[in-house]
């Protein structure tokens, strides 16, 4: 396997409608992206992937392309893309974009010409037109369903005003499928590829890369699963047909003239051997493997996903890819259970992903821990909502614009409060501005983890070694270096002898220790439970941390956590200023090593972040602590890289 710029790259997916609006129309655009390149650079991004920005009526937010060789004015036109590409290149970042070869927009001149022409004409031969079945061709030619709901066929009205042929669309009726058996289709795609590659684009994410080729005779589907959006359906005649590989070989032959450009396929194919065929050395460079994204927060499932993804890539000597989110699926904090647990699990999974060898893709807002947004019916824009007869809400919940700054929607995303999807008020706590200020934020966590991935040599390796773990645990060593440990269960686990956790937080100066505490406090009179977070500070030779009440406009200091050196480790005590004492006092060697972080002088390097967590149950006299037992691998709400002392 040759090493290339993408072999270990961190790709950042920008959904242009939702990233930043520079012209005040409520929809994000390319100049908006350019204004935030410094942010992406500081995050550690190597390459941007832009969802489609070509000219489009936006029936499927750009996945319905009417002119593949120009940029839609909504996004600022082609000059805006040039500005973005130049600025990104100056900062050392690559720019890749979506390419949509399976279908066009119904507004594409080719399709308009096909509608105007008669059955059997050359114009119709660019798409998949068929006569209907049943008397007078009243029924669709086969039983295929659209991924977005309803039949995959729409009947046209012929020039004589009578109902006529049907055309195939695996997605919306505004997205007619191209006929890849017609050589004109590839010729046009080649023009498109060369047009953008000559202009300085560094590669493409190829949409529905397992689509394009259709099986001879278009046989009926045996199992109809219309409700499944882009799941891996290996037995589905609509996808993964043999002919698709010849198309990829031809696409690759164009890429071979641009050896520094990457082709990344969206490949919803589950079987390892079948998947591996897409990343053979004369097809795609990279294929999105969605197994990790589909895994439950379960150690066996996660390990299975990692092993299978690595096996599938290895079968073709290709680079594995990792992704947990994109514009088509529920955001991770929601998928993993929602609330603080979902958030913690999402962070844990981010570290799993960032520890793995290969190319990593993160989706805008993932680094902020954004959850799905429950949108009212009238706000929904995804064609899935209409096509499914209002039975599936579609993907808008994961496409809500990024909150940048300020205290009220749209949080600096746009100057216009009427944004294409509304941002929820609660996101005031999740803005980039707030998170940059908070060393315990998800953003700080991602930045540190990415920095680590870039700075330690083992993360450029190609292997992982599974280590023995208790049930519910997952432990692996990355290319002979750092060890990743995850506790996906509900109980503490014992760390292997001689291992110590390390933190993803900022590295303190030598000799310093750093920790954070999250304390749930119960005031017995009112039976209220509140969460505090504490930040450590150096205070006259000892360490102290103040805990702040969250979720209020004015932060108030309600508790103090004292951190003191104890036999070379740090012990933490949290003292509530009102009635209840809310701490556990770990002591000596039986302290909680994953909460206790030693400076470099003790031979332990800080790698990844830890929260101390303690709960009291309202109304009970004795509060229960959930500090992990000594030498415990963190619980489901903690996650770590470990390094040997
Ligand atoms: C891909 C895209 C999705 C789009 C579909 C049709 O799966 O990721 O957003 O709707 O293709 O182009």
Asked whether residue 3 is assigned to any structural domain, the reply reads no
**Domain assignment present for 173:** no
Give the Cα separation of 177 and 164 in Å (integer). 18
For residues 234 and 351, membership in a common domain is answered with yes
End of a domain among 395, 427, 455? 455
List the residue whose alpha carbon is closest to atom 5 of ligand 1: 63
Tell me which residue range forms the domain holding 542: 462-643
Q: Judge whether 177 lies within some domain.
A: no
pLDDT for the residue 480: 81
Element (H, E) at 341: helix 339-355
| 15 has a pLDDT exceeding 70 | yes
Give pLDDT tens digits for 433-472.
Answer: 999 988 778 998 898 889 888 988 888 999 999 988 777 7
Shared domain for 294 and 254, answered yes or no, is yes
CA distance 587 to 599: 18
Confirm if 599 and 510 have CB atoms less than 8 A apart: yes
How many other C-beta atoms can be found within 10 angstroms of the C-beta atom of residue 461?
14
Instruction: Report which ligand 1 atom has the smallest distance to the Cα of 63.
Output: 12
Q: Which structure tokens are listed for 491?
A: 């109980």
Quote the pLDDT of residue 348.
Answer: 83
Q: For residue 208, how far is its CA from the centre of ligand 1 (angstroms)?
A: 7
Interval between CA 206 and ligand 1 midpoint (Å): 10
Residue 245 has pLDDT above 60, yes or no: yes
Decide if 5 is inside a domain. no
Closest CA to 198 of 281, 254, 251, 263: 254
Same domain, 160 and 199: no
Catalytic residue among 29, 172, 202, 207: 207
CA of 8 to the centre of ligand 1 (A): 25
Q: How many domains does the chain have?
A: 3
CATH code assigned at 145: 3.90.400.10
Same domain? For 295 and 430 the reply is yes
Question: Residue 210: is the preceding peptide bond cis (ω within 30°)?
Answer: no
pLDDT digits (tens, 9 = 90+) for 35-88: 999 999 999 999 999 999 999 999 999 999 999 999 999 999 999 999 999 999
Angle between helix 339-355 and 442-455 (nearest 10): 10
* Distance spanning both ends of the chain, measured CA to CA: 33
Q: How many angstroms separate the CA atoms of 208 and 52, rounded?
A: 13
What pLDDT was estimated at residue 330?
97
Nearest to 265 by CA among 22, 389, 100: 100
Torsional class of 523: left (φ above 0), alpha (ψ -120 to 50), beta (otherwise): beta
Token pair 């750009």 is found at: 62
Q: Is 352 left (phi over 0), alpha (psi -120 to 50) or beta?
A: alpha
The pLDDT assigned to 476 comes to 86
Distance of CA 195 to the CA centre of its chain: 29
For β-strands 569-576 and 557-566, DSSP reports them as antiparallel
Q: How far is the CA of 147 from the centre of ligand 1 (A)?
A: 10
How does strand 640-644 pair with strand 499-501? antiparallel
Q: Judge if 304 and 421 occupy the same domain.
A: yes
For residue 233, being part of any structural domain is answered with yes
283 in the same domain as 267: yes
Q: How many CB atoms sit inside 10 A of residue 53's CB?
A: 27
Mean per-residue pLDDT of the chain: 79
DSSP 590: G
Pocket of ligand 1 (CB under 6 A): 60, 63, 100, 171, 207-208, 230, 266, 327-328
Over range 354-383, report the average pLDDT: 97
Single out the catalytic residue among 177, 202, 266, 367: 266
Is there a single domain that holds both residue 466 and residue 444? no
Which residue of 60, 66, 105 sits with most ligand 1 atoms within 8 Å of its CB, as the best mutation to test the pocket?
A: 60
Whether residues 54 and 126 fall in one domain: no
In the chain, what are the helix, strand and coil shares in percent, each to the nearest 5? 25, 20, 50
Residues 541 and 520 in one domain: yes
- Given a contact cutoff of 8 angstroms between Cβ atoms, the answer to whether 168 and 176 are in contact is yes
Task: Tell me what the mean pLDDT of segment 100-117 comes to.
Answer: 98
Which numbered atom of ligand 1 lies nearest the CA of 171? 6
Q: What is the dihedral of CA 198, 199, 205, 208, to 10 degrees?
A: -80
420 falls in which pLDDT band (50, 70, 90)?
very high
C-alpha–C-alpha distance, residues 306 and 287, integer Å:
15
- Please state the separation of Cα 270 from the chain's center in Å: 19
Question: Does residue 4 belong to any structural domain of this protein?
Answer: no
**Annotation marks residue 207 as catalytic:** yes
- What's the confidence (pLDDT) of residue 244? 98
């Amino acid at each position: 396997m040759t090493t290339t710029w993408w072999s270990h790259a961190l790709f950042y997916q920008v959904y242009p409608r939702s990233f930043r609006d520079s012209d005040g129309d409520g929809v994000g655009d390319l100049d908006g992206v350019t204004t935030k390149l410094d942010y992406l650079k500081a995050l550690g991004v190597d390459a941007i992937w832009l969802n489609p920005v070509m000219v489009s009526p936006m029936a499927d937010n750009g996945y319905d392309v009417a002119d593949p060789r120009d940029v839609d004015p909504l996004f600022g036109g082609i000059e805006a893309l040039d500005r973005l590409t130049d600025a990104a290149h100056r900062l050392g970042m690559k720019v890749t974009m979506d390419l949509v070869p399976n279908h066009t927009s119904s507004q594409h001149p080719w399709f308009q010409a096909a509608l105007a022409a008669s059955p059997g004409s050359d114009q119709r031969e660019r798409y998949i037109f068929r006569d209907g079945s049943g008397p007078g061709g009243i029924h669709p030619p086969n039983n295929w369903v659209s991924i977005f709901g309803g039949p995959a066929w729409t009947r046209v009205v012929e020039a004589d005003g009578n109902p006529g042929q049907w055309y195939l669309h695996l997605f919306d009726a505004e997205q007619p499928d191209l006929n890849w058996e017609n050589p004109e289709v590839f010729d046009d795609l080649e023009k498109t590829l060369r047009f953008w590659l000559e202009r300085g684009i560094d590669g493409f994410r190829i949409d529905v890369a397992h689509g394009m080729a259709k099986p001879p005779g278009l046989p009926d589907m045996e199992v109809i699963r219309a409700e499944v959006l882009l799941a891996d359906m290996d037995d589905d005649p609509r996808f993964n047909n043999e002919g698709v590989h010849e198309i990829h070989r031809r696409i690759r032959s164009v890429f071979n003239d641009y050896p520094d450009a990457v082709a990344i396929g969206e490949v919803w194919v589950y079987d390892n051997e079948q998947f591996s065929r897409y990343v053979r050395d004369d097809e795609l460079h990279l294929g999105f493997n969605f197994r990790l994204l589909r895994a439950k927060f379960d150690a066996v499932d996660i390990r299975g996903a990692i092993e299978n993804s690595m096996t599938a890539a290895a079968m073709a000597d290709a680079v594995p890819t990792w992704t947990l989110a994109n514009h088509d699926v529920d955001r991770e904090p929601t998928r993993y259970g929602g609330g603080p647990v979902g958030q913690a699990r999402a962070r844990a999974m981010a570290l799993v992903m960032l520890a793995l060898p290969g190319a990593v893709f993160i989706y805008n807002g993932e680094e902020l821990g954004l959850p799905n947004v429950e949108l009212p019916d009238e706000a929904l824009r995804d064609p899935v909502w209409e096509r499914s007869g209002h039975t599936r809400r579609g993907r808008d919940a994961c496409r809500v614009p990024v909150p940048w700054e300020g205290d009220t929607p749209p949080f600096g995303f746009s100057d216009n409060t009427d944004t294409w999807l509304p941002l929820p008020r609660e996101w005031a706590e999740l803005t980039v501005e707030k998170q940059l200020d908070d060393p315990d934020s998800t953003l700080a966590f991602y930045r540190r983890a990415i920095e680590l991935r870039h700075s330690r040599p083992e993360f450029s390796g190609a292997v992982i070694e599974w280590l023995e773990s208790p049930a519910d645990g997952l432990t692996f060593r990355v290319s002979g270096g750092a060890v990743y440990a995850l506790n996906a269960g509900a109980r503490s686990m014992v760390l292997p002898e001689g291992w110590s956790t390390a933190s993803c937080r900022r590295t303190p100066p030598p000799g310093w220790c750093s920790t954070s505490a999250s304390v749930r406090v119960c005031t017995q009179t009112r039976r209220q439970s509140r969460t505090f977070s504490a930040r450590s500070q150096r205070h006259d030779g000892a360490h102290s941390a103040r805990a702040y009440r969250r979720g209020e406009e004015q932060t108030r200091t309600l508790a103090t956590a004292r951190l003191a050196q104890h036999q070379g480790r740090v012990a933490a005590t949290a003292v509530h200023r009102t009635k209840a004492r809310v701490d556990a006092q770990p002591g000596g060697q039986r302290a909680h090593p994953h909460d206790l972080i030693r400076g470099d002088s003790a031979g332990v390097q800080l790698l990844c972040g830890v929260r101390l967590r303690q709960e009291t149950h309202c109304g009970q006299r004795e509060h229960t602590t959930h500090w992990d037992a000594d030498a415990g691998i963190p619980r489901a709400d903690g996650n770590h890289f470990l390094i040997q002392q």
